[in-house]
Every structure is written in structure tokens, then in C-alpha cells.
Amino acid sequence: MTRIAFGSDHAGYELKQHLIARLADAGHEIIDCGTDSTDSVDYPEFCAAAARQVRDGHADVGIVMGGSGQGEQLAANKVRGARAALCNCLYTARMAREHNDANVLSIGARVVGLGLAEEIVDLFLSTEFEGGRHARRVDQLTALEAEF
């Protein structure tokens, strides 16, 4: 079982609800940080809230989504300790975990369909960090973050 924090804006709401239901049915613990409808909202508070759940140890990973996923990734990455990766394909989902130890997945709900989104999430959740030379680079990212 994985503890997963979700955050989205209105454009990502329907995909968020779909993924939450699917992952809850699979036995994962879900933390829904909003939004709660398709009414227009600003994404930063919801995506940062999901990233904070990861940072604070309440969630193992976060998943954020909006229209393109780009702003949502940016908002999550403003949270110290979050390593959010925009993954709208399987390759980037695998690399985000294997090489960057990403702990927040961002998806563009207007970019990928339900089936591909499910595959991206499954791959992200099942892929382990390789460590090795990549650990050194993740440590360098953490050091950069500590500068500010």
C-alpha cells in the first residue's frame, strides 16, 4: 500500500477523481488535497498542499494534475523537499523515478487520455530509484534547494 496525496485544478479534477477511485480500489491510501469540482480555481494551493503531504511524511508520493501539468509541477516544486516531474509519457515517468527519485508526479489531463494516465501512474508507483551516480545528482539538487 502506498500513501498518495492528490492535488489538481479544475482541468485535472475529473482525471484526479478517476485515479483516486482506481487507486483506492487497489488498496492505496488516498489524501485528497482538492480541488473538489470543475469550477475554475487557481492550482498552486492544491498542488503545493499535495507536495507538503509528501514533504511532511504523510504521503509517500504526490500526484498533481491540471490542463498541461506544467504549472502544477512548478507549484509542487516550490515546496522544499518535493521533486515533481511532469510525465505525459511512459519514458519520462520511468526516468523521473529511476534517475531523479521524483516524489511528485504531474500529469496533463488535457494531454493524455485515461488509459495512458493509468499506465503512467502505475509505472511511476512501481519504479524504484536506481541510486548510484543518480543519488549524487539528487544530493546536488537538495543542496541547491538548501541555498534558498
- Short-list 95, 68, 82, CA closest to 33: 82
Which H or E run includes 119? helix 114-126
- 28 is annotated as an active-site residue: no
Identify the active-site residue in 18, 28, 99, 134: 99
**DSSP letters along 46-89, please?**
HHHHHHHHHHTTS-SEEEEEESSSHHHHHHHHTSTT--EEE-SS
- 29 is annotated as an active-site residue: no
Catalytic residues: 72, 99
